[in-house]
Every structure is written in C-alpha cells, then in structure tokens.
Amino acid sequence: MSWDAATPAGLVAILENPKWPVSKACQAVEDCILANSDNLRGFFEQCFPTLLKRLFGYDGTSWLNLVAQSPKEADARALLKLLSPTGALFTAMYSADADGSTQFFFPRERLPTHTQMLLAAPAGRAELERWPQYARGAIVADASGRCHVKLGVFQFFLFWFAFYVIKGDGGAGVDSQLRPQSAGLTSSVRKAAGALHLTRGRESEAWRHPYLAALRQLLLDLLPRPSTAAQLSSTAAPATPGASPFFRTPASSAKRQADTGTRGATFFSVLLEFWVTDGDEPVPVAAAAGATTPAAQPPGAPFWGTTYEPPSEDLLEALTELVKYATVADSGSKRQPAQASTSWLPATQLHTLLPPALAAQRSGGAAGAVAPAVPAIPAGPARLGAAAQPQAQAFARRLYRFFRRALTLWPEQRSIKPLLRCLLAYLAPWRAAGAAPLLLPGAAAAAPGHSALASHLTAQVTDLVHRVHWADNSKSDGSGSYGPQWEAHVLSNLPFYLTLLPLFLEASVARVEVRGESAAQDLVAVLGVLEGAPELRELLQRVEREFNKYAASQPRRADGAYAELLPWLLEQAQDWEVAATANCVGDTPLVRATPGFTLFSTAEGGAAYVARDLLDISSHIFKPEVQRRLRQCLETSLPLAALPAAAAEAGRAAEEARYDEAVPRLPKSTWRDVQYRGDPLLRPIASFEIGLLVRLLVALSLRLNAALGLADGGHGSGGGGGAGQDEAEELVETRVQELMARARRRGWRINLRPLADVRNLAWIPVAWFLLYHSLRLAAWLVAAVVSGAGEAATGGGGGGRGSQQQRHHQHW
C-alpha cells in the first residue's frame, strides 16, 4: 500500500509504519514540508509529535537507535540531513516559531528534578523565567493552579533532544512506556576497537553515532566558534536566503545572526539544565523578611529525594562531546584552546544558587529584601583570555559541581571509566580528540544469538589492551601534549586540578579493594595527566605554593609572578567550593576562610600521604606488574620521595608496639588443646549424629553397663589396679563370669552410640545387602553340594538293579 507523503495524513501513516525504511521516511518528511511550505500548521499539529516519537523513541524504538545498529550508510546520511540545522525540518520549526501559532506542553515528569522543584514555588518560577528556554510566558498555570511548561516548536524539539540521553542504561526513574529503547550510544565492541585505535582517522559523519553527529551539527550552527564560524561543513553550510525554498521571505544577515544567537543561548541553556543540574541544588528562598530557608512546598506537593543517582553512560558521552567542543579547537594537526582571545559561549543564567545562609549574609540582612541567591561571576585577569571571562567561568562552575559530586558520591560497585573520560576531556584537552567517538558500522547490531560470542571477543580484546597498557611505559598516548598555549586554560580552572585530583585519589583508596586492577587503571589514566606533562606539574606546584602562601598571609598581600591572579583565584576557589557543596536543605557548612590546596603538599593529610597509604594497601592486592606501574605513576606525579619516610616508619612501628602491649595475645595452641576431654560416651552431640538416636543409645548403653558391672570400667588412671584386686578377690564360678571379670580389668564397656552416626547408618544397608546375599550364596552352594552327592548315590543303586533285571529277562 502506498501513501501520499505530500499530505499530513499520508505522512502520519508512513511514520507509524515500522517497516518503512528510515531513509525513505526522512525523505517523506522533507517532501511533506516542501509541499505544505505555505501552511505548515497541519504538519506540526498532526505529524510533528509522531515524528519526535520516531526520532527519539520515547514511545517505541527510535530512529537514532535503528541507524546506530544498522550498517546501512544511506539511513545515517538521510537522518543527519533531516536533523541538519539548515535543513527543511529546522527551517520549518523556525518559521512556525516566528508567528507562535503552534505550541506544545512538555511532560512535567520528564523535566529534571531541580526544575520540577522550582516549578512548585513562586520564587522558583521567578528563577526559571530568567532562563532563556522559559522566558516569554513558557510557564502557564491550569485551572487548579498547577504550573506546566508550554514551549514553541524549536524549544520542544530541544527538550526531547536533551532528554534522549537522560534515560540511562537501566532506565532508572523513567517510565518504560516513554523511555527511549536504545542500547546506548556505544557498544562494548566499539569500546574495545577504540582502545586498539581501529577507528583512528575515520572522520566521516556516517561513522559516528547519529546522536553525537547531530549534536555536533547543532553546536557548529548554533554556537559557532570564532575559528570555525566560516568553516562549516557542507552538511551544515547555510543556504542563500533568497534562493532557499524553506524561507518564506529573505532575511537579512544581521537578523539571522541575532536569531542564531538567541537559539544558541536557548540550546546551551537546555543542555546544561538537563545534563549537569541535580536535584540537590539550592532553591530560591521565599520572598519574606528574614527568610533564610527554602520556600515552603504547597500542600500535596511531592517529596523530593536528594539521593545521588549516577548519570548514564549515554549522558556522559554526550557531555564529553560538549566539553570537547567548548575547550578544543582543531587547527590543522594541532589542538588549540577554544577559549583563547574572544569569548563566544552564551552568557548562561543557569547558576547554582547560593545557600540561604550565605545569601542572607551577602544581602546585608535588609528587612523585607529577598536574598540575592544568584551569584555574580567575576571576570578574571585579561592575561588569561576568554577562559577567565564570565561566560566560560559559568560553564566551568557548573562542570565543577557536577564532577566534584560524582567523584565523591560515585558507587564503588559501578565502573567510573565513562565519568573519567568526560573529566579528562576537560582536564587534558590537549589529549582529547576533537571529533566525536566513532562507531564501527554494524558494531552495535549484534544479533541475540551472537551476544555471547561478542561478549567473549570483547573480553579478550579488552584483556589484550590492558596487558599492552601495563607493559607500556610511555608517558603519553601520542594524541597531543601539553604546551604553553594551555596555561590560560589550566590557571582559569585551577580547582579542577588542585582539588578534584586529591579528592579522586582519596576516593580511590576504597575503590582499590572493590574494583581491583580496574581502579588502578583509573588512577593511572587520571594521574597520567601529571605524569606525562612535566611542565604542567611545575606550573601547578608553583601556583599551589604561591596560592597557599597568599591565602595564609595576614594581611593578604600578593607578590611574585602570579600576584595579579591570586586575588581572583582565591575568590574563585571559595565561590566554586560553595557552589559544589550547596544543597537544597540549606545546611551546607560555609567554606573555610583561608582555603588551601594540598595536591603537592608534603604535610600530613596531603595527596602524597594518601598515595603512600594507597600503595601500602594495593601491595597485597595487585599483581607485581600492576603495582610497579601504579607506583611509577604516583611517584612521578606526586612528591612521595619528599615525605619523611623514616619518621613515619618509626612512628608506625612505635604505634604497633603500643598496640601489641595493650592487647594481650592468645598463646600458641594446636587442635589437641581444643578437643573434648571427658567420657567419650557422654560427649556433646555432633553434627553428623542423630540427636534422638544418640540419647536413646547412650541411655541403653549406661543401663547395660550398670547391669553387667561395667559402669566403672577403667577410664581412670588408677582403674586398672583396682580392677585386678577385685578380680583376685572375686570367685569365678562360670565361663561367663570369667569373661566379664576380664572385660572389667581391661576397661571395656558397651557403647552403642556409634549406631547413631549418620556415616555408620549409611553403611548398614550396604552391609545388610552384602551379608544377605553372601548367606544366600553360601546356602545355595551347600544345597548344591548336598543334592549332587545324593543324586550320585541314587544313580549308583539304580544301575545295579537294572543289570539284574536284564539278566533275569535273558534267562527267560
């Protein structure tokens, strides 16, 4: 059956048909848009919701997942063409938003937890209206007073686009009916292949996961960098306004740039809202005099849980792509900082609010005034370039809270490698590839019958990669090295290095005992950033020393090579630590008045001490080659050699000696010292004995021994002499009395308790069977011998009588 794709009804029938190829369905969408370019209201009202279901799969299987699992390159190219920011679909969305004739309600339960909390109170709704995606009346209330989110077409698309990676691998907290049925943005086979660099050099859009490729297209078009604004790819090249069939009227270049900036700010804000906000963030205080607690929830409002839920691997891969785009700008064969001279990131309004106590403190305690919970992001020194400007600092402040919470709250039973890949993309952008993770064609399309084979192959390849990794003593992975051009990036994000690295090292102490060699690989991967860059280590050591000196000075006086940076770095460290530790309850303790960094400190409690303790613990867990590699990495990255080793060892020995004296030790013993001592007949019931039979047989044995005079049989040390004397005095009259006297002299008794042993009872049927059949065999042999002898005797007598009768007949 064929449908007319030019009509909305025909397009809906095509979209609802699961057998329709993705490439043809994408072409049908473009044909319907072109055929109805004068009036797109029917397309958006009838076809657009179904199209989003097919794209993102929140009501079935998504096209993104089908294309990722399919080796057909035509489907991938058609889908990327449909999702191109300059294609027919996006142009139609821009046109529909221009007149505001079509709007959609986004499901409230699909919003991030923090957004739902803000919607529940007037102060929170006022905060949401500052965000570009909720401006211009996006928050509406129904007749019952419940607030909802009503979005334009483009914003509605962005919300579902960002939500696609929220579902997680197991779909925790997401309704199975609306969860995108995706196997993930990568597969284990692709990961193993990527570790062996099998996909190196394949930069084609068709080889990437379609979601990551679409994300890259949107970033290039909506957030153009100064170095790449005029170097868009052919798939994202803007069409001439007058010649494009998608535009109703030609638009000026200035108008299009303004629209792109507004859409870019909305797109960037939506990604931050869905990907890096958490449900434990502070909410605005109520607009009341002296209010220092979060706004009260209305009656019947849901109870918000603030437990930490690790992000899914899909979300971390998408966030890694965003981090790479914001930090790295490829320039030929070299990687240059993306935040160099000109600031190009949007000025996001998604700031982690100040805790209520600190906000009230900064407000000056004015009566009736609302505490200014929205922080002000100060600009850094000009020598650091765009990386220290408020736009880039707001993004870094968001990421710092995200990574700090993840490193300290990540479950020990779950692999932390996806998070570390994202963290390393920001810590060491000179080592991160600018392209999105690549995908082998059909790598994720493993049939159910081949899953075991694929898993086995992946395990073997991964094991081979790990063996090569531990055997390799190279300092760098060859994908880039640290240079002076990255100094501004490091200095503008100093807490990422001097705070997060010690926190990760401290958290790894417990992970080593749970994850084993996997935790060692994670340590080498993260601290390898310092190990492979001596210039970076020297820079961080100098800045940490100068920072701690400046923070502890009274009054504070900046001097030295970094005198211009130290005041701003101190303010940044305090502000980021407040933002990272704030929670919605409002009981967050304020940061220290004099913060300090301890990555390269040799004082007790520094990262070097933690590293030494970790090596002591892991020496009994890891293989020798793994332990040597870990020790080499830690000794190169941290000042372990500068620790007071002798004093520490002496103190540890003295502490162990005091412990040995305080705790009395048990004397050395053997199994004979703990065996039962006493009458074996009356020993406790063992696990291999039947309790009821033991009691009956012991009672019977005691009665028989008492009746026969064997109760005091010689189980004492002097029993033998007494028995012999009694026997000499006793008159023996019968043979039985003689046997009983001999038994008493030798200490023999009747003990029926072994019959209650399960092991002995198991042999009773076997013994009975053997004895029974042996007796039957013996009886049969005796009977055969007796019957044979009788027949022989009977046969001899009968032969004599026969010969006599024969002679008698012959006589006659």
689 three-class SS: strand
Instruction: State the sign of the Cα–Cα–Cα–Cα dihedral 171, 177, 178, 184.
Output: positive
Q: What is the DSSP letter of 634?
A: H
Q: pLDDT value at position 637?
A: 93
Q: pLDDT value at position 565?
A: 92
Q: Return d(Cα 703, Cα 325) in angstroms, integer.
A: 94
Q: Return d(Cα 601, Cα 487) in angstroms, integer.
A: 21
Question: In 3D, which of 525, 468, 475 has the Cα closest to residue 197?
Answer: 468
User: What stretch of H or E contains 654?
Assistant: helix 645-662
Question: In 3D, which of 208, 213, 237 has the Cα closest to residue 224?
Answer: 237
141 pairs with which residues across the strands? 147
CA-based end-to-end distance of the chain:
121
From 32-46, 118-132, 343-357, 376-390, the region with the lowest mean pLDDT: 343-357
Instruction: Express the helix, strand and coil content of the chain in percent, nearest 5 each.
Output: 55, 5, 40
Question: In 3D, which of 422, 208, 185, 231 has the Cα closest to residue 329?
Answer: 231
Mean pLDDT of 765-780: 90
Question: In 3D, which of 490, 494, 482 has the Cα closest to residue 533?
Answer: 482
From 241-245, 329-333, 518-522, 695-699, the region with the lowest mean pLDDT: 241-245
Pairing of strands 103-106, 334-337: unpaired
Pairing of strands 139-141, 147-152: antiparallel
For residue 359, report the phi and psi dihedrals to the nearest 5 degrees: -65, -40
Choose between 581 and 349: higher pLDDT.
581
Q: pLDDT value at position 442?
A: 33
Q: pLDDT value at position 649?
A: 61
pLDDT band at 296 (very low <50, low <70, confident <90, very high): very low
Mean pLDDT estimate for the chain: 76
Contact (CB, 8 A) for 372 and 285: no
Q: pLDDT value at position 652?
A: 63
Q: pLDDT value at position 629?
A: 94
Residue 803 has pLDDT above 70, yes or no: no
Angle, vertex CA 662, rays to CA 656 and CA 666, nearest 5: 95
Measured CA to CA in angstroms, residue 662 lies from 112, 132, 655, 657 at distances of 55, 67, 11, 9
Q: Is the peptide bond before 555 cis (omega within 30 degrees of 0)?
A: yes
Question: For residue 642, what are the contacts with CB-CB under 8 A and spacing of at least 6?
Answer: 602, 608
- pLDDT over 90 for what percent of the chain? 35
Give the pLDDT confidence of 598-654 residue by residue, as tens digits: 899 888 888 999 999 999 988 888 889 999 999 999 999 999 888 886 455 656 666
Residue 215 has pLDDT above 50, yes or no: yes
Residue 717 has pLDDT above 50, yes or no: no
Q: pLDDT value at position 810?
A: 46
Q: pLDDT value at position 651?
A: 61
* Most confident region among 290-299, 605-614, 663-672 by mean pLDDT: 605-614
Contact (CB, 8 A) for 268 and 346: yes
pTM over 0.85: no
- pLDDT over 70 for what percent of the chain? 68
Q: Return d(Cα 482, Cα 501) in angstroms, integer.
A: 18
Question: In 3D, which of 508, 572, 506, 577 has the Cα closest to residue 543?
Answer: 572
CA contacts within 13 A on the Cβ side of 183: 21
Torsion of CA 421, 425, 426, 428, to 10 degrees: 110
Instruction: State the sign of the Cα–Cα–Cα–Cα dihedral 585, 590, 595, 601.
Output: negative
Mean pLDDT of 547-570: 86
pLDDT band at 393 (very low <50, low <70, confident <90, very high): very high
**Token reading at 11:** 């397009």
